[in-house]
Amino acid sequence: MLIKMIEIIIQAIKNLRREGIRTILTLIGIVIGIAAIVSLISVGNGLSLYFEDQFESIGSNSIFISPGSAFGTGTGSTIQITDNDVSFIRNLSRVDNVVAEYALPATIKFNNQTKSILLFSVDKEGYEFFKDAGYIEIIEGRLIEQKERGTIIINETMANDLFDKEINLRKQVLLNNEIFTVVGIFKFSVNVPGMMPGSGMALTSLNGLERIYNVTTPVQLIVRTLTIDDVESSAQEIKDYFEKKYGQKSITVLTSDQAIEQFGSILSVLTLVLAGIAGISLVVGGVGIMNAMITSVLERTKEIGTLKALGASNNKILTLFMLESAFIGLLGGILGSILGLLAGSLISIIGSQAGLPLKISFSPELILGALAFSMIVGILSGLYPAIKASKLDPVEAMRYE
Amino acid sequence: MIYDLFNEAIKNLSRSGIKTYLTLLGIIIGIAAIVSLVSIGSGLGMAVEQQLDQLGGKTIFVIPGGFQNIRIKLNETDISNFESIRNVESVVPVYSTSAILEFNGEKINVSVNATDSGDKTLFENTGFFNVKEGRDFTRNESGSILLGSEIAENYFEKKIEIKKLVKINGKDFRVIGILKPLPQSFGGGPDPGNTVLMSLDAFKRISTNLNPTIIFINATDKESVPQVVDDIKDYSDKKYGDKSVNVLSSDNLLETINSLLDMITMFILSLAGISLIVGGIGIMNAMITSVLERTKEIGTLKALGASNNKILTLILIESALIGLIGGIIGILLGFGLAEVIAIIGTQSGFALIAVKSYEIIFGALAFSMIIGMVSGFYPASRAANLDPVEALRYE
């Protein structure tokens, strides 16, 4: 049986090679489709892995709290988190520490130019944690001290690109007409959720921030619980507190797991939709296989008749043709996966040079899935031609011109 | 002569039967995918355009930079300076705060906006807030509110109807109208479906925050909009820094949204376009087979005096025809598909329109014919260059 199977496989390969350029073209159709799907999914998976990393580096015992309901309110107003709210959370029994992040737009004057930047800060209790957690990396100079009132550190973009002249260490700038000294230049080592990288950003102490804004309210709180097991219950306690005080939809409370899940599910829906659109080409490729197999059956009608006359069963003929089309599918899948991973790597290289967090992930599931999928496409497309071949009447077939 | 070749081409195609149909199917699928995507994509742009047209093109949105409720604070001086800009007809600041809306025992946090409605209707004044049920409030009505349709219908277990009494931050207000939502939310603008709107007098009962979150500025006429936009930008850039305040007119809003939509559509199109390439390969394959099968026939034609050019043209017409027919059917199918998507989308709350334009039709037809011809070129030149003697001997 096994030997017979091998014989049929060898025969199938021989037949495919006989078709030459046409087999190659049919193959290319499948290769293109699989490559498109594999590259999209590998980039999509890479992206969601990146987000997972980001959240995990902050710690899975974290809870993110931001004002407003989850799906954004545009310019609509949200509640303002007060000091009382923050101390309520700090006093919860299972809460270890709370980082309150502040961010405000500020007007900066330097070298006779006026620009608008985002000025942010963390409160005193959050400062140590913020410093230790490695959110930011100091490239030049030093970090601000929490008790300082007149120092800022600025991001690379602001130092190099925002003004006609570079801002160097120890330069003085005017923030909303107050004098601040630049003591360091930093970059984000992880993207702190809620703080978008990009344009000009400066970090000052809360004392510094209070010099230019009377009333400030945190844009986000990062709460860390004592153990991972406390996350769910603390999150619920915080949510209940805010909803009782400000009404439903007043606050968004996300645990690390929920945040990863949300990002992950948005990304995977997006990836699936895109892969689905690219997958249309695979259907077209399948039609191509079917067409090639029908042609092949027609051309080999006489040969099939002879085989049958010599005693080949209908089943054997069916298997032979199915194998041929499955083989086209499989081979297309292998070549397509390789090409797709190459394309994915290329996209990620170009993307990371443009500053996007694109990494691709080579998962064995993806490759196996792609191979299985392309083989199924091959088998389905080959079904009709193979049945047609197996049902040929040997007498008629041998007479066929 | 071309006509004869044309006839011959059609005959040859129909002779191949199922193989021609399958090749066609490949092109049909690709074109249908592209046409439906373009149709829905341009429909999105059109929905935005319609919305902006309602504003009459005279309204300029001024949105202080920042995010959520932390924004640059514009004040009374800024507003009166905007009023004195040349060709400004009216300046309508909108104030906002977050508040607790209480109805039927439930408390939900909402965003409350307030504006001075003046002598004109709200819609004339802002072009943004549009009452779909009930009526506008007047300037000194301090106990009436308009509810966004989303809040009225979906926020609470029980729907809030007109004339119902609700509490905002503990104070009583009567609902006198429902606001129409926008089909697409604007970059940064408030969402009228998700807000509570009231007069300034009413607002002062619940909040002391009088820094505008958005200012609607109406120019005297459409032509002066760009000048007014520039003047506002100059003023705010100088006072608060570059790009500290977003100044949007319906024109540049449309441009921004359209360029974003175009980018997304192009990206998705290029993914769908992959299937057309595969379809083109299918045409090439079919034509190669066809040339092989007709080797003897081509040899005979050549022996009877058919020129290389004539053979080339014949095969090219055949493949272009496959492309063209595939294109026609694909367009019909694509438009049908877009219509179905639009209907399903509209039912689930998205403003989707299936646009059917001549540009799409001609573009798709031209594209599918070009695919057909490019794919047919190699097989056609192979056929044209056959040696008649060899070809006649071919088995």
Q: What is the 3-state secondary structure (H, E, C) of A170-189?
A: CCEEEECCEEEEEEEEEEEC
For A297, the closest chain B residue by CA position comes to B19
Does the CB of A268 have a partner CB in chain B at under 8 Å? Answer: no
Q: How far apart are CA B248 and CA B62, in angstroms?
A: 6
pLDDT for the residue A197? 47
Q: How far apart are CA B337 and CA B323, in angstroms?
A: 20
Does the CB of B30 have a partner CB in chain A at under 8 Å? Answer: yes
Out of B155, B185, B282, closest to residue A288 by CB: B282
Q: How far apart are CA B29 and CA B344, in angstroms?
A: 21
Q: How remote is the C-alpha of B369 from its chain's centroid?
A: 27
Maximum Cα–Cα distance for chain A, whole Å? 100
Q: How far apart are CA A391 and CA A394, in angstroms?
A: 9
Taking an 8 Å cut-off on Cβ atoms, the answer to whether A287 and B29 are in contact is yes
For A71, the closest chain B residue by CA position comes to B194
% of chain A exceeding 70 in pLDDT: 91
Does the CB of B251 have a partner CB in chain A at under 8 Å? Answer: no
Do residues B360 and B39 make contact, with C-beta atoms less than 8 angstroms apart? yes
pLDDT for the residue B1? 65
Q: Name the strand (E) or helix (H) holding B340.
A: helix B308-347
Spatial CA neighbour of A235 closest among A227, A226, A245, A225:
A225
The nearest CA of chain A is from the CA of B371 a distance in Å of 14
Q: In chain A, which among 38-57 make CB contacts under 8 A with chain B?
A: 40
List the single best residue of B97, B186, B289, B381 to mutate versus A (max A Cβ within 10 A).
B289
Question: Which residues, at least 6 apart from A24, have a Cβ–Cβ distance to it below 8 Å?
Answer: none
Q: Name the strand (E) or helix (H) holding B24.
A: helix B18-54
Domain ranges of chain A: 2-54+261-399, 79-249
The nearest CA of chain B is from the CA of A101 a distance in Å of 13
pLDDT for the residue A89? 92
The three-point CA angle B169-B174-B178 to 5° equals: 105
Taking an 8 Å cut-off on Cβ atoms, the answer to whether A116 and B65 are in contact is yes
Out of B67, B279, B284, closest to residue A284 by CB: B279
The nearest CA of chain B is from the CA of A273 a distance in Å of 10
Name the pLDDT band for A360 (thresholds 50, 70, 90): confident
Does the CB of A157 have a partner CB in chain B at under 8 Å? Answer: no
Spatial CA neighbour of A174 closest among A137, A211, A124:
A211
Do residues B376 and B284 make contact, with C-beta atoms less than 8 angstroms apart? yes
For B185, the closest chain A residue by CA position comes to A74
Q: How far apart are CA B64 and CA B158, in angstroms?
A: 36
Please tell me what DSSP assigns to residue B385.
T
pLDDT tens profile A321-355: 888 888 888 999 999 999 999 999 998 888 877 76
The three-point CA angle A103-B71-B238 to 5° equals: 110
Spatial CA neighbour of A383 closest among A332, A334, A326:
A326
Taking an 8 Å cut-off on Cβ atoms, the answer to whether B277 and A278 are in contact is no
Spatial CA neighbour of A109 closest among A212, A215, A218:
A212
Q: How far apart are CA A93 and CA A395, in angstroms?
A: 89
List the single best residue of A209, A281, A290, A388 to mutate versus B (max B Cβ within 10 A).
A281
Write the secondary structure of chain A as one string of H (helix), E (strand) and C (coil).
CHHHHHHHHHHHHHHHHHHCHHHHHHHHHHHHHHHHHHHHHHHHHHHHHHHHHHHHHHCCCEEEEEECCCCCCCCCCCCCCCHHHHHHHHCCCCEEEEEEEEEEEEEEEECCEEEEEEEEEECHHHHHHHHHCCCEEEEEECCCCCCCCCEEEEEHHHHHHHCCCCCCCCCEEEECCEEEEEEEEEEECCCCCCCCCCCCEEEECHHHHHHHCCCCCCCEEEEEECCHHHHHHHHHHHHHHHHHHHCECCEEEEEHHHHHHHHHHHHHHHHHHHHHHHHHHHHHHHHHHHHHHHHHHHHCHHHHHHHHHCCCCHHHHHHHHHHHHHHHHHHHHHHHHHHHHHHHHHHHHHHHHCCCCCCCCCCHHHHHHHHHHHHHHHHHHHHHHHHHHHCCCHHHHHHCC
pLDDT for the residue B300? 87
Burial of A192 (0-12, 13-18, 19+ CB in 10 A): buried
> Number of Cβ pairs closer than 8 Å across A and B?
188
Contact residues on chain A for B98, CB-CB shorter than 8 A: 67-68, 76-80, 246, 250
Spatial CA neighbour of B321 closest among B372, B246, B258:
B372
Question: Which residues, at least 6 apart from B108, have a Cβ–Cβ distance to it below 8 Å?
Answer: A247, A248, A249, B100, B101, B151, B155, B156
Spatial CA neighbour of B272 closest among B353, B337, B184:
B337
Average pLDDT value for residue range A273-300:
86
Please report, as a single letter, which amino acid is at residue B79. I
Taking an 8 Å cut-off on Cβ atoms, the answer to whether A79 and B155 are in contact is no
Q: In chain A, which among 293-352 make CB contacts under 8 A with chain B?
A: 294-295
pLDDT for the residue A296? 81
What are the DSSP E strand ranges found in chain B? Answer: 59-64, 66-67, 70-71, 88-103, 106-115, 131-134, 144-148, 165-168, 171-179, 195-198, 212-219, 245-249
For A30, the closest chain B residue by CA position comes to B278
Q: How far apart are CA B311 and CA B331, in angstroms?
A: 30
Does the CB of B180 have a partner CB in chain A at under 8 Å? Answer: no
Do residues B358 and B331 make contact, with C-beta atoms less than 8 angstroms apart? no
Does the CB of B234 have a partner CB in chain A at under 8 Å? Answer: no
- The residues with which B95 forms a beta bridge, in sequence order, are B114, B212
Q: In chain A, which among 194-233 make CB contacts under 8 A with chain B?
A: 217, 219
Q: How far apart are CA B109 and CA A239, in angstroms?
A: 13
Q: How far apart are CA A338 and CA A35, in angstroms?
A: 7
Taking an 8 Å cut-off on Cβ atoms, the answer to whether A274 and B66 are in contact is no
Please tell me what DSSP assigns to residue B151.
I
Average pLDDT value for residue range A14-39:
83
pLDDT for the residue A342? 93
Does the CB of A287 have a partner CB in chain B at under 8 Å? Answer: yes
Taking an 8 Å cut-off on Cβ atoms, the answer to whether B98 and A246 are in contact is yes
Out of A249, A280, A284, closest to residue B108 by CB: A249
Question: Which residues, at least 6 apart from A306, have a Cβ–Cβ distance to it below 8 Å?
Answer: A394, A398
Taking an 8 Å cut-off on Cβ atoms, the answer to whether B240 and A116 are in contact is yes
Do residues A296 and A15 make contact, with C-beta atoms less than 8 angstroms apart? yes
pLDDT for the residue A201? 84
Taking an 8 Å cut-off on Cβ atoms, the answer to whether B109 and A249 are in contact is yes
Burial of A191 (0-12, 13-18, 19+ CB in 10 A): middle
Do residues B95 and B211 make contact, with C-beta atoms less than 8 angstroms apart? yes
Q: How far apart are CA B20 and CA B373, in angstroms?
A: 15
**HSE, side-chain direction, 13 A CA sphere, residue A292:** 40
- The residues with which B148 forms a beta bridge, in sequence order, are B179
Does the CB of B24 have a partner CB in chain A at under 8 Å? Answer: no
Taking an 8 Å cut-off on Cβ atoms, the answer to whether A288 and B112 are in contact is no
Contact residues on chain B for A251, CB-CB shorter than 8 A: 109
Does the CB of A68 have a partner CB in chain B at under 8 Å? Answer: yes
pLDDT for the residue A195? 46
The answer, yes or no, to whether residue A72 has pLDDT greater than 60, is no
ipTM for the assembly: 0.73
For B264, the closest chain A residue by CA position comes to A274
DSSP B294-338: THHHHHHHHHTT--HHHHHHHHHHHHHHHHHHHHHHHHHHHHHHH
Write the secondary structure of B245-302 as one string of H (helix), E (strand) and C (coil).
EEEEEHHHHHHHHHHHHHHHHHHHHHHHHHHHHHHHHHHHHHHHHHHHHCHHHHHHHH
Taking an 8 Å cut-off on Cβ atoms, the answer to whether A294 and B195 are in contact is no
The nearest CA of chain A is from the CA of B54 a distance in Å of 21
Out of A29, A249, A295, closest to residue B281 by CB: A29
Q: Which two tokens stand for residue B293?
A: 């099968």
Q: Which two tokens stand for residue A97?
A: 């520490």
Taking an 8 Å cut-off on Cβ atoms, the answer to whether B72 and A116 are in contact is yes
Spatial CA neighbour of A121 closest among A140, A91, A148:
A148
The nearest CA of chain A is from the CA of B1 a distance in Å of 31
The answer, yes or no, to whether residue A73 has pLDDT greater than 50, is no
For B234, the closest chain A residue by CA position comes to A114
pLDDT for the residue B101? 92
Do residues B220 and B50 make contact, with C-beta atoms less than 8 angstroms apart? no
List the single best residue of B23, B36, B61, B109 to mutate versus A (max A Cβ within 10 A).
B109
Length of chain A: 401
Q: How far apart are CA B394 and CA B291, in angstroms?
A: 12
List the single best residue of B16, B68, B106 to mutate versus A (max A Cβ within 10 A).
B68
**Main-chain dihedrals φ then ψ at residue A57, nearest 5 degrees:** -70, -25
Does the CB of A246 have a partner CB in chain B at under 8 Å? Answer: yes
Q: Find where tokens 């959240």 sit.
A: A55
Do residues A374 and A37 make contact, with C-beta atoms less than 8 angstroms apart? no
Q: Find where tokens 């990009």 sit.
A: A198
Average confidence (pLDDT) per 10 residues, chain B, 395 residues: 72 74 87 90 79 73 71 83 89 88 90 81 75 85 89 89 91 91 58 85 87 86 88 87 79 80 86 87 84 83 86 87 91 94 82 85 91 89 84 76
List the single best residue of A284, A299, A328 to mutate versus B (max B Cβ within 10 A).
A284
- The residues with which B91 forms a beta bridge, in sequence order, are B217
The nearest CA of chain B is from the CA of A168 a distance in Å of 21
List the single best residue of A79, A280, A282, A289 to mutate versus B (max B Cβ within 10 A).
A280
pLDDT tens profile A148-194: 888 999 988 888 888 888 888 888 998 888 899 999 998 876 655 44
Contact residues on chain A for B106, CB-CB shorter than 8 A: 248
